[in-house]
Amino acid sequence: MSDSKKNKLDELREKLFAKNETAFSEKYDITDADTFCEGYKAYLDIGKTERLCVKEAIRLAEAKGFVPYERGKALKAGDKIYRNNRGKSIILAVIGQKSMKCGINLAAAHIDSPRVDLKQSPLYESEGLCLFKTHYYGGVKKYQWPAIPLELHGVVALKSGEVVDVSIGNSPDDPVFVITDLLPHLGKDQMAKKATDVISAESMNILCGSRPIDGAKDSDSDAVKLNIMKILNEKYGIVEEDFLSAELSAVPAFSARDIGLDRSMIGAYGHDDRVCAYPSLRALLDLDTPDRTAVCILADKEEIGSEGVSGMKSHFFETFIEDICDTDNSLLRECFENSTCLSTDVMVAMDPNYPEVCEKKNTAFINRGITLCKYTGARGKSGSSDASCELIAKLRALFDDNGILWQMGSLGKVDQGGGGTVAMYMAERNIETIDAGVPVLSMHSPYETVAKADVYMTYKAILTFFEKNR
Ligand code: MN
Ligand code: MN
């Protein structure tokens, strides 16, 4: 082939074929990615549960001038408001120039992550050891949870109305907890089981003590448990029955760390979905007065189906938006039909250790930016809201025109499995919605991995969306 003919074909290729760019192309500015991710790592280390994520979000928001919104109070463009939903989810808004009837730009992430919850009557003693009974929360591979250090976080609500915060294991001097595993020497029967049965849910009991109370005789029953209750009583003023009205969760006692010799990635517990919650929150906090009102919701209970008063199905969401609509006499239904939602949630990333579950041409890759996902679901897109191609076209233009690296992803090979996000619950409200978020390795494991460039690009994408989506 002659040189000129070859050049012609290259030109045609360049013009007609899709490109797979990475964040390291000169086209994209990721200078601030590392600094941004230091803030994210700090958020992860503080926000080990949804309650702790809400607390930290409030601290960050108030530092930027956000105030709790009281129903009926007048609002003007540029006002920064939030509402705390029972300490477990939070919604924040920056009021725009336009009326609420023109719709809002919304980023919806979730701040609950898979974990191991204590049962309502958890504490018992057996074989000289004291343990907590548990019930796992969300989609976990149970075999990943024994033999790793665990922290304990949550609250105990007392009959007096007082709510006591419990937090053990997050500071270097604290003790931690563990679920024990069987030694390989005696694991013959265990290792022959299916992975789903290797660890039974009722054997995920958390070790929390082994020393009997001072003065106990060998024959005394429950002397170790009595000692643990005494320690808890001295520290938190609680008695055993108070567990009945407690919400206590065990989470991995890992802090967020850089991964790789090049420090390009972050390993941590709870990237799903704090890796989208933090960029969504930060984008809202860094926003000047927008054209359309910008809203960020950090929801609870996504991992168990978005149920309950703090989940995305809750009317807490429309109650808040309607309160804002009331201030300029807009109708909620009019606001919703003109609104756009990015359901900011994580996406599976191509993993060279497990390439067989993904179809390469339609899978997200680490370091290729924020990932749009048209549909999730399973078996023929069932249980998915299937975003409109018109919305995708709009976002393609928005991101391409503003130096945002983005890619299209999907949830594995067809019929390989599936899943969902809050997208369908937003779409049901007549809000144009699409999933958009950070690709993750080892999703739902105690230690997930993301790339710093993707976290930063997700922040930039959401900020651009808040600023310019009309
Ligand atoms: Mn998620
Ligand atoms: Mn999840």
In the chain, CATH 2.30.250.10 covers 115-252
pLDDT single digits (tens) 157-202 = 999 999 999 999 999 899 999 999 999 999 999 999 999 999 999 9
Nearest Cα to 340, choosing from 430, 276, 437, 409? 430
Q: What is the 3-state secondary structure (H, E, C) of the chain?
A: CCHHHHHHHHHHHHHHCCCCCCCCCCCCCCCCHHHHHHHHHHHHHHCCCHHHHHHHHHHHHHHCCCEECCCCCCCCCCCEEEEEECCCEEEEEECCCCCHHHCEEEEEEECCCCEEEEEEEEEEEECCEEEEEEEEECCCCHHHCCCCCEEEEEEEECCCCCEEEEEECCCCCCCCEEECCCCHHHCHHHHCCCHHHHCCHHHCCEEEECCCCCCCCCCCCCHHHHHHHHHHHHHHCCCHHHHHHEEEEEEECCCCEEECCCCCEEEECCHHHHHHHHHHHHHHHCCCCCCCEEEEEEECCHHHCCCCCCCCCCCHHHHHHHHHHHHCCCCHHHHHHCCEEEECCCEEECCCCCHHHCCHHHCECCCCCEEEECCCEECCCECCCCCCHHHHHHHHHHHHCCCCCEEECCCCCCCCCEECCCHHHHHCCCCEEEEEECEEECCCCCCEEEEHHHHHHHHHHHHHHHHHCC
Ligand 2 mean position, distance from CA 32 (Å): 27
Ligand 2 mean position, distance from CA 138 (Å): 8
For the structural domain made of 18-110+269-468, what CATH number should be given?
3.40.630.10
Ligand 2 mean position, distance from CA 9 (Å): 44
Ligand 2 mean position, distance from CA 131 (Å): 28
pLDDT in tens, the chain (470 residues): 788 888 999 999 999 999 889 999 999 999 999 999 999 999 999 999 999 999 999 999 999 999 999 999 999 999 999 999 999 999 999 999 999 999 999 999 999 999 999 999 999 999 999 999 999 999 999 999 999 999 999 999 999 999 999 999 999 899 999 999 999 999 999 999 999 999 999 999 999 999 999 999 988 899 999 999 999 999 999 999 999 999 999 999 999 999 999 999 999 999 999 999 999 999 999 999 999 999 999 999 999 999 999 999 999 999 999 999 999 999 999 999 999 999 999 999 999 999 999 999 999 999 999 999 999 989 899 989 999 999 999 999 999 999 999 999 999 999 998 899 999 999 999 999 999 999 999 999 999 999 999 999 999 999 999 999 99
In the chain, CATH 3.40.630.10 covers 18-110+269-468
Give the CATH number of domain 115-252; options: 3.30.1330.10, 2.30.250.10, 3.40.50.12780, 2.40.170.20.
Answer: 2.30.250.10
Distance CA 128, CA 125 (A): 6
Ligand 1 mean position, distance from CA 440 (Å): 10
Closest-approaching ligand to the CA atom of 345: 1
pTM value is: 0.97
Closest-approaching ligand to the CA atom of 274: 1
Which pair of tokens denotes residue 145? 């949870």
